[in-house]
């Protein structure tokens, strides 16, 4: 089974360490700048990006325009809340998240595109 390829863009604290311990998840990059994000996303199944407050980052919309099958997780600055953006159109509120909880949501979103919320 091929690992789920994850692109981290200003992720919440501790997420990289949690992902490193998961054999079915592979961090493929930590880009800097929107152009780099868009280029590296071509190789990703999932993008996790830091997002201020409840706003949808413009780069999330661009990612979905460029890569309709990708899952984009927008996580607020402290990693306490998040949203999953998919081209359905639909945004799923994740509510409070922990790095371990985000790992579960990433697997669900990458596996079959279903709602990762419990």
CATH code assigned at 56: 3.40.50.2300
User: What is the span of the domain harbouring residue 18?
Assistant: 4-96+106-112
In this structure, are residues 47 and 38 in contact, taking their beta carbons and an 8 Å threshold?
Answer: no
In a domain, 25, yes or no: yes
**Distance (Å) of CA 29 to CA 36, 42, 67, 96, 116:** 10, 11, 17, 25, 23
The backbone region for 92, taken as left when phi is positive above 0, alpha when psi lies in -120 to 50, beta otherwise, is: beta
**Distance (Å) of CA 70 to CA 13, 17, 53, 96:** 23, 23, 22, 22
In this structure, are residues 26 and 5 in contact, taking their beta carbons and an 8 Å threshold?
Answer: yes
Query: Strand 71-75 relative to strand 46-50: parallel, antiparallel, unpaired?
Result: parallel
Q: What is the pLDDT along the chain (118 residues), one digit of tens a residue?
A: 789 999 999 888 888 899 999 999 999 988 988 899 999 999 999 999 988 766 778 888 899 999 998 999 998 876 578 888 888 766 788 888 889 989 998 998 887 655 555 5
pTM confidence score: 0.76
Q: How many domains does the chain have?
A: 1
In a domain, 13, yes or no: yes
In a domain, 101, yes or no: no
């Amino acid at each position: 089974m091929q690992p789920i390829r994850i692109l981290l863009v200003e992720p919440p604290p501790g997420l990289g360490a949690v992902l490193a311990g998961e054999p079915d998840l592979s961090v493929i990059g930590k880009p800097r700048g929107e152009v780099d994000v868009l280029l590296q996303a071509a190789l990703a199944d999932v993008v996790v990006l830091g997002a201020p407050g409840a706003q949808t980052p413009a780069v999330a919309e661009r990612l979905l325009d460029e890569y309709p099958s990708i899952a984009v997780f927008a996580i607020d600055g402290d990693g306490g809340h998040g949203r999953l953006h998919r081209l359905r159109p639909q945004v799923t509120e994740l509510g409070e998240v922990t790095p371990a909880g985000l790992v579960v949501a990433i697997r669900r979103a990458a596996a079959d595109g279903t709602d990762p919320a419990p």
